[in-house]
Chain A
């Protein structure tokens, strides 16, 4: 064991949920600290120096979003939020406030671990190595030469399509909200024009996906945003 165990902070008020999340993480060699309240979670976040925070948005003593906002003032630690299905608005807000990913209750251990892996990998890699082309499906993207190959043939993208694709690749595995993509690609003043984004995303899929109606890599997170996955789920 050259590396010490990574540390995860689990902020969740339901004991049973803490129990299985902890078990799942410990199964993957994480050290898990638990916090039941917002206040305790915030102080643990500074004292325990976690490598990952799993945060329930519905805490008894306050809104998880507030904790996230505080945390992001001084820390870039990856955060995965847990939330109920109906509260799309909360998820979007959490993502916009700097959460890295979200899980909808109820969720299985498989989903949890997949998110944890993706999140911590991104962190370890500290961004992509630009000299290595990024590959998904039969597509290969070289971010240094700005070339896009599909099954060996060059694909021509419009500038906006290319920027969209690059943004998704840099954030591979991570959900990007409509707002985040719009302000990155079009600029902050276009944050409301989500239908532009949807149209371009459709074009991109038609160029990148085998079956654009059933995308395998450029996935839609309904009502929230998009996510690029390198390897489709089994």
Chain B
């Protein structure tokens, strides 16, 4: 049972794999030429492969390749198309840099981009070259690149430990792990040294001294081992993926994720890297958390920056990160682990700082709290590489000076408080026991702790003891003590003062954390409530920029897309201060990824651009510039900001759909109005016409008979009324067809039937013309609306009779041409005016401008509308022998089968070859 389960791939996992494969199909393929150090021949190997593909006709382009002046490499470049690098000015020097935009525009099948770990000069879109490569891959371009082992993020410190040379240009492991192919370029250490001696390895001038240390045989062998091992890990991963794919064996991800917890010391980075490696080996998710205790909260700004930097490193290495405020480190770590179902815990070992024998290390505490969780302790690095700047930190010096000043002021206040208590209690000394005086001092210490915090409280405790001794313990006004028992009083007083100060300050901290949390929740609640009431884009813009300004003490602006997906800044009321870069914003919008300050894309900008991604679409970009830039780096704040962005996006989407719905309602309403108008018009126009025709008829038929003249008058009243009625019918039909309100009653029927009906209806009008009908007997059934097609024929016939003199002939014929029925109505009258053969199908157009022939030119436009609605065409032209021809076509399609024949018993006299069904069937 159990084994069976294991062998069956998890459907979710398979689905994820399919999705990944789909994404991969669109993405370009990345091949990394991986080596243990410079000089092993990565670039050369890459060029050899590229040349081969180029020779086979692949569209290969050199993006950037560093030849370092080596002739054999340069020779390999010959003949390959190269994208010229852009020259960027940096510190008065022109530096060549890979031209990403040209490469994207050129869009080759394969591009060579050397030195994956390269850091770009400031002013380029991405700070790192691997990000350029990522964008190339996303655009569907295949990339060949090179990488040395010491540039891999997770091995960075290990290599540093081996060689004592630390490089700062690193590539996240995920880039390496997600590469489609890794080609290991490997030569033995001796050969590399020989190449070095022969001057075949490029070393930058300033690094020459360090290189002496670096290129030692021992180092080279260790690096080689690292590179081989890392490649082997990858290959194993490939094998595993293959096995999973093919359902071979039963190696499944166990899903035991790990948790690492870091502290403020420099080892944090090391712990993070170790955890990342471990997670990678276990193929598990991992979390990195930092528990902020009251003590840690009081750390200096640069140290806190370092913690945040370590967390962001963890994020880069693929961890989920969090900052938790809780004075009980061990408890909160364990509860986090339990909440997230993390079964392994990675922490740094700190053996020092154990003041008392009963104090336990954090590892021991954790082990006691959670005996079921695996604990991995990472040893401290003893090397010289330890520490170093994690990231250059722009400490806000103005703010820290201000803070320091406020801090010292608090101590002054604490001292003043002690003095005040001493002076105030002096008169009491005569009447009260010293024990009571002690109580007053302790009260003072507690109050100081509440108001001013831990440090001032400690100062107050010490000062209180001194003051008590000096002013109240005999001999008074001297520090000497007569009675030894007062020493005990002093000790207890000091201890009580310190402990109460500590406790109160702790409470104060927790209260502050709680109020921060409360503030965050409150601000979220407020923006959610306000946005839920917004029904217009303007309101959303105003509400969101205001609440972001309030919550983050930052300037904010919303950029919304125009219909063609170009972003436009929405000016809010006081929208003058924040200068947004539309280019960056557009990038963030198009990619759906944040850009600008604190991100991987153009971090040089001081504005952060967050795409507003709603469930259905990206609705715009939020630009934010914090006064206190550190604020945006704190994970909690970023998460809060992301939540804000999501809320705003949802509000924008809702407003968008409110608009859509409103528009639909308006359309529906106007449609309804038009329909009822048409119905009313139809009734109100027809009723009087009916009456008019009827009464005129009555007049003509009245007895005794009218005179010939009167009779004629009555008849012309009737004629005109009928004409008016036809006009109304045409107008209403046109309106109905144009509004798309006509419901077609499409039926398979013989065409001659509708011809007969039309001719029958037109009898009176056609009585002065000779009508010739030519219909072949074998016309197939056609699918049309008989009512509407009768109108087409009636209009064409009416047209022909109206514009031709009496006595001329009108020919109606139909035949099958290809897959269409082709119907023509010809007359031998004056024909259509030259050049207006098409214009007669326009509304209110007539053949001659000032014609005396009555009738508004609506007949032909209606014909066109009806025929086109049937999927046919209609044209008019002049016959060479004179007269006009109107031709329309109808698609034939596949008519339903005729009724099955059954009985041929009775003789059929069907004269003209059509097979006669003789069914006398079911009775």
Chain A interface residues toward B at CB < 8 A:
14, 16-17, 19-21, 23-24, 27, 58, 84-86, 88, 105-110, 112, 155-160, 187, 193-196, 198-203, 205-207, 211-215, 219-223, 233
Contact = CB atoms under 8 A, between A and B. Distances in A.
A198 B756 contact: no
Contact of B698 (A20, A58, A85, A201): A20
A13 B801 CA distance: 37
A57 to B, nearest CB: 12
Interface string B332-374: 0000000000000000000000000000000000000000000
A16 B695 contact: yes
A213 B756 contact: yes
A198 B920 contact: no
Given A16-B695, A220-B760, A222-B754, A156 B909 contact: yes
Nearest to B896: A195
Contacts of B818: none
Nearest to A21: B694
Contacts of B757: 219-222
B686 interface: yes
Interface of B: 682-683, 686-695, 697-698, 701, 703, 718, 721-722, 725, 729, 732, 745, 747-750, 752-757, 759-760, 763, 771, 773, 775, 777, 781, 785-787, 790, 895-896, 898-899, 906-912, 914, 916-920, 922-923
Given A212-B752, A223-B745, A158 B917 contact: yes
A23 B786 contact: no
Of A14, A17, A23, A222, chain B has the most CB atoms within 10 Å of the CB of A222
Contacts of B689: 105-106
A107 B682 contact: no
A207 B763 contact: no
B752 A202 contact: yes
B694 A108 contact: yes
Given A106-B686, A107-B690, A203-B910, A213 B697 contact: no
Contact of A215 (B686, B703, B760, B775): B760
A108 B787 contact: no
A231 to B, nearest CB: 14
A228 to B, nearest CB: 13
Given A106-B721, A214-B759, A207 B909 contact: yes
Given A58-B683, A106-B725, A160-B917, A17 B759 contact: no
| 3 closest Cβ pairs, A-B complex | A109-B697, A159-B920, A20-B694
Nearest to A15: B691
A196 B895 CA distance: 12
A84 B682 contact: yes
A217 to B, nearest CB: 11
A56 B786 CA distance: 25
A194 B918 CA distance: 18
A109 B698 contact: yes
A156 B908 contact: yes
A138 to B, nearest CB: 15
Nearest to B909: A156
B760 A195 contact: no
A14 B763 CA distance: 30
Contacts of A187: 922-923
Contact of B781 (A20, A84, A108, A195): A195
A17 B694 contact: yes
Contacts of B898: 196, 199
B688 A16 contact: yes
Of A21, A24, A105, A201, chain B has the most CB atoms within 10 Å of the CB of A105
Given A88-B787, A108-B693, A199-B899, 6 more contacts: A158-B920, A159-B919, A202-B753, A207-B910, A213-B752, A222-B787
